[in-house]
Amino acid sequence: MTEAILGELVLRGNYLEDAPLATVYFGGGTPSLLPVADLERILRAIDECYGLLSDAEITLEANPDDITKEWLSDLKAYTPINRLSIGIQSFQEQDLTWMNRAHTARHARQCLELSLAAGFDNLTIDLIYGAPTTTDAFWEENLRVAGEYGIPHLSCYCLTVEEGTALHHFVKKGKAAPVEEERAAYQFEYLMDWAEKRGYEHYEISNFALPDKYARHNSNYWKGEPYLGIGPSAHSFNGHSRQWNIANNALYIKGMVEGNPVFEREELSPVQQFNEYVMTMLRTQWGCSKVRLTELHPDGATQFFALASGYQASNWMEEQNDSFRLTKAGRLLADRISMELFI
């Protein structure tokens, strides 16, 4: 796999038009399973092929049960990785058991202590609310623990039941409780209030950061900046087209070995570009620029402005600095509002 990734890095050397990279993100699957020596090789190749800015944000997703003192020491010594994204999900044993996570509540705390002790203070953790086992008391405790460790960035997601998943099957058969929307809404509101009181900026629907601790990589994605994805199922975007690699590991490797990478590609129409801009930017604190909406699709912008006035009257949206953004009440309805604003 590492050899295939190194080969793709070379093959796609001109995709980003020679701009040095400001961010690198090792995402799921489970990149923390890759030996540190291979991570180091990949990062060296990235620098050789594209150039890395000296202050680049380099993030690695990690499972709590993969994090050991020795692994962190090697990561610090041999790679320029400077940010860890840790899939905590919950500090409660009942939640972790229900979510079928490999780590325990003790692991969840221990991995944070080890990471901080190793000098990785630029951390982000994932937390899930709205699960059947996540009582209001559990959720409040999860946030208290995150605050206790001084975690500078939180990604908090409401449990969703996607069709075709095992959870969807269990809920449909009555073997698992459905998500209680009222409780999930309360936990989201509690999260927003908790974060605001502690100085976190709610800069994207699911993301909260202390000052200067935004996820630079993800922020660029939401703002529609070009990005290059390397590896199985990785997506790339250059402003007007998107392409994605085959998801199957073996077929991905085979294609790279044969010098014939397997991927699909689509050109984005003006309507698609408009809708994607609305979908991503409306989730952020920056909101949707009136100028940009008009540039992307004048008719779509006219429709947007007409609907926005109604949302403003309902206190779901506000206009600030020539941009429309959701209010705290509107964030509870973000998906619905975005869909209504699509062309």
Residue 176 resides in a domain: yes
Residue 248 resides in a domain: no
Domain interval for residue 320: 270-341
- Sort 14 into a burial class: Cβ within 10 Å, 0-12 / 13-18 / 19+: exposed
Residue 163 resides in a domain: yes
Number of structural domains (the chain) is: 2
Residue 234 resides in a domain: no
Of 164, 189, 222, which residue sits at a domain end? 222
Of 222, 238, 258, which residue sits at a domain end? 222
Give the CATH number, domain containing residue 295: 1.10.10
pLDDT in tens, the chain (343 residues): 999 999 999 999 889 887 789 999 999 878 999 999 999 999 999 999 999 999 999 999 999 999 999 999 999 999 999 999 999 999 999 999 998 899 999 999 999 999 999 999 999 999 999 999 999 999 999 999 999 999 999 999 999 867 776 665 666 667 666 678 999 999 999 999 999 999 999 999 999 999 999 999 999 999 999 999 999 999 999 989 999 999 999 999 999 999 889 999 999 999 999 999 999 999 999 999 999 999 999 999 999 999 999 999 999 999 999 999 999 999 999 999 999 999 9
